Structure 1
């Protein structure tokens, strides 16, 4: 049976950092809502990671905020100060217990931050433009000094990831958060060096990458992964187009990253802006820059057959998210040839067995249509 999944179970070496993975499976970053109020991890979150630390060659954490002003939701972990190092080390240690590589995703929520979670109850962004959602707060436009301080904060968070024992960091440039807000013509209406033209809207994402790489170079005594997560398009008008994203992807490829992680709900889905454009967004990015850096494909991939189909496109790594909530031993069952035993629905009576923290569990049960549920 495992002969069917030769590609999936083969090893992979990042060409830039030289870090080697035992297989092509990545655990996608998934919010747990389960950190403590001070930004430290909880025992429940550690148990959740321990239950899943055999299920991928590389495990990416829930995102960690780089500044208190960037806390994106209740229960988020922090990487904003050296006081977080013991907490971050707990996470790195548990993820690496069985030989997988551990990657810390670093993040700032920008205008998507709930005001009640922020020190001054006021979100910030590239410009004072509210998100198109009911009840959204209008953010305060960041000063140039705040922009520079935030760029530095990403670098400091990466330095802490090195010191805590992680094998890499993933810069969260996707899912409508701050880095994407600077790139988006909807949320960035600036007229200084940080906004306006496409090239200027790229300035903040590229500056963050430079800061992270510089911090890692100074801190890491061994090879260390630096990746970037990107969202291909936006629904808003004006909003990010695929043409603009391909330009950013190319610029990122020349930054010397280890990978580009394309964040979509369905790997095979076409454009959210043009229903006539049905080509996979991840494949378009792969065609543009796949020869320059590895691409991670993700989105509605649940079976090993589906994972192999993604890998058959030439994309070298495949990330699973929702499936690893349902089946934390997915990879073990594939390796053992017990694919028929892989769970495909979330059993609503199995919270304890699955080691899913209560805040995350409650979210899964109330988020309509996101997971198939078994009652």
Structure 2
């Protein structure tokens, strides 16, 4: 069968993908204590490269205050460039493009992770999830300006390391989202206020990254933006807010990447709205920028359905953990051998780092389809998934 997702794709800036399949960013928790790349990480990425047209790495923090968890990648110093270059080279196997996801965790960190420093955010408001989240310190104007510079410097380092683009992680309740949310941003200065005011930080970060690309990139370089369509807390970001946000940035970025547990999802807040969120985003991105659809894509039929639903590219995460050769198997007509379940006994063979194995079998157990799991797999068409920043206590 001739699948559309196996066709090549060209971004508006000229970057060419060999197919429309993207491996989405997934946390490995496998970096050294200071954010430097480990060999386990390189091997993990190398085993999944070569098939997808593009692979997006797990998040890398742009500054020390932005670290969100142990084992997190960092792009905060020039000393990180050699290790990141190893990752980029591994990802480039058979023409796969490499994108480095960059972020600042904001209030989604802890004093322990930050070695005694209090987490920071737009305002001194603790996250609703998890319930025991620390109250952050509100960033000063000078600190905000420095973080904006840090994003630009991180982009310079990504270019030096040989990546083909960066993705701003504005989803999963991290700092970029915290500034846009009326829940976490209660500032009254230029960084807050109404919806447009709460977009000021994101727009400044995008401008900083674009300036770095213009100055340092020798050829076409991608700038993506990942966004969570809705928050479930009140007050919080609603779908109309996110679509408005996309309208403001769609001509400034190479692509918009939705963060959802299912590509079939409809609004979590408005049950009368039965139009899939993916289709609603597509109506706003069409003719302006590329749209990455994601969420519970496992079989070729899912990928085709997501394309038909409005996505230009299909991003898969968990399925590439279970089946690193997904694209290759589909391309040679070997779909019957595609694994949509995973045995805990096979994770070493699948080059899944040992630390990553621990949290996949604990915090992320409900989304992994383990062969040993007797619980029914959760459906994320009508609820947030763990990878979207909604953390359930085990």
Corresponding pairs, count: 370
1:276 CA drift (Å): 2.7
User: In the alignment, what sits opposite 2:333?
Assistant: 337
C-alpha separation in 2, matches of 1:277 and 1:115: 40
User: In the alignment, what sits opposite 2:375?
Assistant: none
C-alpha separation in 2, matches of 1:359 and 1:122: 26
1:41 CA drift (Å): 1.0
Q: Deviations over 1:273-295 (max 9, x none)?
A: 12332322121111122221010
> Any conservation in 2 of the 1:290–1:315 contact (CA below 8 Å)?
no
Q: Which runs of 5+ in 2 are unaligned?
A: 373-394
C-alpha separation in 1, matches of 2:264 and 2:255: 19
User: In the alignment, what sits opposite 2:122?
Assistant: 126
1:312 CA drift (Å): 1.5
The alignment yields a C-alpha RMSD, in angstroms, of 1.0
C-alpha separation in 2, matches of 1:272 and 1:241: 9
User: In the alignment, what sits opposite 1:210?
Assistant: 207
User: In the alignment, what sits opposite 1:20?
Assistant: 16
The one of 158, 177, 185 aligned to 2:155: 158
> Any conservation in 1 of the 2:50–2:92 contact (CA below 8 Å)?
no
The one of 221, 235, 239 aligned to 2:236: 239
State the SS of the aligned residue for 1:369.
Answer: helix
1:126 CA drift (Å): 0.1
Moved more, 363-372 or 239-248: 363-372
State the SS of the aligned residue for 2:225.
Answer: strand
> Any conservation in 2 of the 1:170–1:229 contact (CA below 8 Å)?
yes
Q: Which runs of 5+ in 1 are unaligned?
A: none
Q: With structure 1 as the length reference, what TM-score do the two structures score?
A: 0.97
> Any conservation in 1 of the 2:81–2:160 contact (CA below 8 Å)?
yes
State the SS of the aligned residue for 1:261.
Answer: strand
Moved more, 345-354 or 333-342: 345-354
1:254 CA drift (Å): 2.7
1:117 CA drift (Å): 1.3
Q: Deviations over 1:95-151 (max 9, x none)?
A: 112210000000100000122111443100000000012211000000000000000
User: In the alignment, what sits opposite 2:248?
Assistant: 251
> Any conservation in 2 of the 1:69–1:119 contact (CA below 8 Å)?
no
User: In the alignment, what sits opposite 2:354?
Assistant: 358
> Any conservation in 1 of the 2:98–2:164 contact (CA below 8 Å)?
yes
